[in-house]
Structure 1
Amino acid sequence: MADKVTLLEAKLQTTEKEVLELRSLIGASPQVAFSAALRESGSGDIGPFTTATPLQYKRVFSNTGSSYNPATGIFTAIVKGMYFFRFSMFNNLSTVPNSVVSLMKNGQRLTSVWDTSGNDSHDMGSNAVVIPLSVGDNVYVELQENRIVYDDGMNYNTFSGFLLFTM
């Protein structure tokens, strides 16, 4: 009986070590995800600006990991990994539509959504990418110079991203 108790104590200690190891692995996994809309309230055009300008998505739905900064509109990677980003753009025929927004990584254009002069109205588009980021890399949506986007509180213009896995 004493041998069985000793064996069970050894197994219990091994199991406790494994549980602690698993907890440390789970606790070390970064959680990074955000989603935001352009306006907190109100309606109207944003832009035009004389130079390309990062859009500041002010209505933050979630910001786990605090990597998105609504004051600048910039997401900054806190961990090296593979990330997913999505953005949407909406314009209105309050003036002739002339909208171009681009997803940028460290100042380099990755992809864009646009709608320019035409006689249709209320156009919307979106795009998405999966990209590797290093710690400190910046990702943001940029409104191109002399362009506009429109929102009226319905949260048409959004910017979201999350960490798929670390590398």
Structure 2
Amino acid sequence: MKGVVALLVLLCSTLTAAMVITPENGDKNCPSDMCDMLRKIEVMENRLAAAESQVETLNAKAETKVAFSAGFGGTGFYGPFNVEKTLVYEKVLTNLGNAYNPATGIFTAPVAGVYQFSVYHHSGPGRRSDSLLFKNKEQIAFISAMNKDGSYNGSNGIILQLEEGDVVYVVLKDNSWIWDHMSNVGAIGWCHFNGILLFAQ
């Protein structure tokens, strides 16, 4: 694409140089057909420059790599609370592009595109684990796990189209728990929040 653009620009420049008004005809008005052609060449050069800029922008977006995986990083029960709370997954395993903030638990889309997210929670024995996945202030998905006789895992996954600057995060419902356990050094526990950019737009 860049080679084609360069060739067209060179051709336009050559034609423009060939049609420069010389001293012999400089005191005359520019012939209408020549002026029209010069205007058309100028429009073509502007369009080519705009197309080249768009191609460079698209290439930069295509090369953007975004992926994160974070664990809750605790041991034992978290909750319950009488209000909803944003869950902060502090134990980061992967954070390509640094779009996930482990201090707030919030993912911010660095580019417009299609993203995939997943959430995995452990309820603990005899406890209810209810949480919500949000896009900006809109509830997108529900994650639930409960078993009176034992402990269960709850999970959900979704594909979202995001604009640059959109945020995605997980909220623990009021009067709900999650249970996490760090079994060894380097582990990220039982409760995770993950996301990846599938393709930019």
For this structure pair, what is the TM-score category when the shorter chain's length is used for normalisation?
0.7 to 0.9
What percentage of residue pairs aligned between the two structures are identical?
A: 36
Amino acid at match of 2:137: G
> Match for residue 143 of structure 2?
113
Displacement of 1:26 after TM fit? 5.4
Hey, which of these two has a bigger chunk of helix by percent?
2
Deviations 1:12-38 (A, max 9, x none): xx6xx8xxxx99975552111100000
> Match for residue 159 of structure 1?
193
Displacement of 1:106 after TM fit? 0.7
Q: Are 1:103 and 2:122 matched, yes or no?
A: no
Deviations 1:111-166 (A, max 9, x none): 111124x4221200211000100011110111001110001115110000011111
Question: Scaled by the length of structure 2, what TM-score is found?
Answer: 0.66
Q: How many residues align?
A: 145
68, 90, 98: which one pairs with 1:34?
68
Structure with more contact order per residue of length (Cα contacts < 8 Å, sep ≥ 6) = 1
Verify the 8 A CA contact 2:71 2:192 in the aligned structure 1.
Answer: yes
Alignment of 1:80-159 (within 5 A): 80-93=112-125, 96-116=126-146, 118-154=147-183, 155-159=189-193
Structure 2: runs of 5 or more not aligned: 7-54, 184-188
Hey, which of these two has a bigger chunk of strand by percent?
1
Q: Which moved more, 1:148-157 or 1:65-74?
A: 148-157
In 2, distance between residues paired with 1:138 and 1:107?
Answer: 9
Question: Scaled by the length of structure 1, what TM-score is found?
Answer: 0.78
Amino acid at match of 2:199: F
